[in-house]
């Protein structure tokens, strides 16, 4: 049977790469704060509320009640303060360090950056694309409310444009961050290589010209932007589709946004005469390449099993995952879980959201007893 392997961020994490949105945002936050302190070292006199750093997401400034802050009033710090920030494992600790120096961090825009930081602090993980869509829905509700009163709605469209610009800014920062990580991306997990190749057989098909031998084929559907899966392509049986693009590849630029066309609000977005709402809907970016067509051709070609490796199966890719899981050629879904049953169970919750036919869902998901733990580079 053919095999479709869904590769998500957990695949990179299993190789010891700090590619999660949590790692990325924490690194970005540290960089902004350290740049602010480096600038602060050079100051002798500033006006009140002097801005040390500012971008589309945050502003960092000195707090003062006076109109002028002279040298003896400017916050001073030891060099080890910057090292302490570099060693921080949470944005909360960084905020605490800066607040003691009377330095304030302000979130720009209309709640999007703040929601990202809140998720990191409370959950220790963040789904940036889902939080973006929450912001998009807020703009949608406001826009519809204004239209019902027949009033022009420049303010909401302005907010929407700013939200889209913020996601563009995050995407550019993410590309730079992952490009640095990719430079040292060389690990390979032998156990994982064995799993990817296990159970593949040669099928003998009878034709008018005799018996033809055909190997089972494997498609690596890579949702990451890194090249980690490439090193596991060992023969002609394997093919790869980088469905969300690749770092620094102008022919297959990264896709970053939201992809749930089944969501009840999406129909309302379609009914609006405002294209700004579509700017970061993934489906329109898929038209840039033939990647999605290759995936559909694989699904239609023959029966297949699905392996989920490090993919959360969340709603940000709902349209695509529903197409895969509910396809009549999809015969099973095997979950490679992280550490224990709880992760397996949580992934079944996510997968269930992609099924309209719950009977088919229960038939296709492979029981926990027949699934295995996702191999990690640091297993002993």
Q: How far apart are CA 322 and CA 351, in angstroms?
A: 9
- pLDDT at residue 380, as a whole number: 47
Q: How far apart are CA 81 and CA 78, in angstroms?
A: 6
Q: How far apart are CA 364 and CA 55, in angstroms?
A: 47
Tell me the pTM. Answer: 0.90
Percent helix, strand and coil across the chain, each rounded to 5? 50, 15, 35
- pLDDT at residue 72, as a whole number: 52
- Cβ burial of 142 (10 Å; 0-12, 13-18, 19+) is middle
Q: Compute the Cα dihedral for 110, 116, 118, 119 and give only its sign.
A: positive
Q: What is the mean pLDDT of each run of 10 residues along the chain (380 residues)?
A: 95 95 96 93 74 95 67 70 94 93 91 94 90 94 78 82 97 97 88 86 60 77 95 86 96 93 88 91 94 97 96 92 97 95 96 96 97 84
Give the three-class secondary structure for 103: strand
- pLDDT at residue 98, as a whole number: 93
Return the number of other C-beta atoms located less than 10 Å from residue 189's C-beta.
Answer: 21
Q: How far apart are CA 250 and CA 280, in angstroms?
A: 18
> Which runs of E-coded beta strand occur in 78-149?
103-107
- Please check whether residue 193 is in contact with residue 375, taking contact to mean a CB–CB distance below 8 angstroms: no
Q: How far apart are CA 359 and CA 356, in angstroms?
A: 9
- Cβ burial of 255 (10 Å; 0-12, 13-18, 19+) is buried
Q: How far apart are CA 342 and CA 315, in angstroms?
A: 19
> Which runs of E-coded beta strand occur in the chain?
2-7, 46-47, 51-54, 58-62, 68-69, 103-107, 202-207, 210-215, 218-222, 238-242, 304-309, 330-336
- pLDDT at residue 149, as a whole number: 66
Distance (Å) of CA 93 to CA 79, 87, 268: 17, 10, 41
The helix-helix angle for 21-40 and 112-123 (nearest 10°) equals: 110
Edge-first strand order for the sheet with 103-107 is 51-54, 58-62, 103-107
């Amino acid at each position: 049977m053919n095999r479709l392997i869904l590769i998500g961020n957990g695949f990179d994490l299993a190789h010891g790469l700090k590619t999660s949105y949590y790692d990325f945002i924490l690194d970005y936050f540290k960089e902004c704060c350290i740049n602010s302190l480096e600038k602060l070292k050079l100051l002798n006199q500033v006006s009140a509320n002097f801005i040390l750093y500012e971008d589309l997401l945050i502003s960092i400034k000195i707090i003062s009640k006076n109109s002028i802050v002279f040298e003896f009033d400017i916050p001073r710090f030891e060099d080890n303060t910057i090292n302490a920030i570099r060693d921080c494992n949470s944005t909360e600790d960084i905020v605490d360090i800066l607040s003691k120096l009377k330095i304030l961090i302000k979130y720009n825009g209309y709640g999007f950056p703040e929601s990202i930081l809140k998720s990191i602090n409370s959950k220790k993980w963040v789904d940036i694309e889902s939080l973006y869509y929450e912001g998009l829905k807020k703009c949608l509700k406001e826009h519809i409310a204004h239209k019902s009163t027949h009033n022009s709605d420049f303010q909401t469209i302005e907010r929407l444009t700013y939200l889209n610009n913020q996601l563009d800014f995050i995407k550019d920062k993410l590309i730079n961050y992952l490009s640095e990580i990719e430079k040292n991306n060389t690990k390979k997990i032998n156990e994982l290589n064995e799993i990817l190749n296990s159970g593949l057989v040669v099928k003998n098909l009878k034709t008018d010209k005799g018996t033809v031998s055909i190997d089972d084929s494997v498609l690596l559907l890579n949702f990451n932007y890194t090249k980690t899966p490439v090193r596991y392509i060992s023969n002609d049986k394997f093919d790869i589709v980088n469905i969300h693009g690749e770092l620094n590849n102008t022919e297959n630029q990264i896709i970053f946004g939201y992809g749930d066309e089944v969501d009840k609000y999406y129909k309302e977005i379609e009914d609006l005469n405002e294209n700004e709402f579509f700017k970061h809907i993934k489906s329109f970016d898929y038209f840039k390449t033939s990647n999605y067509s290759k995936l559909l051709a694989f699904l239609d070609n023959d029966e297949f099993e699905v392996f989920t490796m490090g993919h959360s199966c969340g709603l940000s890719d709902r349209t695509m995952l529903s197409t895969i899981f509910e396809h009549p050629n999809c015969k099973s879904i095997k979950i490679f879980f992280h550490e224990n049953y709880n992760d397996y169970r949580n992934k079944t919750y996510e997968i269930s959201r992609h099924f309209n036919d719950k009977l088919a869902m229960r038939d296709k998901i492979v029981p926990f007893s027949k699934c295995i733990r996702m191999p990690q580079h640091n297993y002993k």
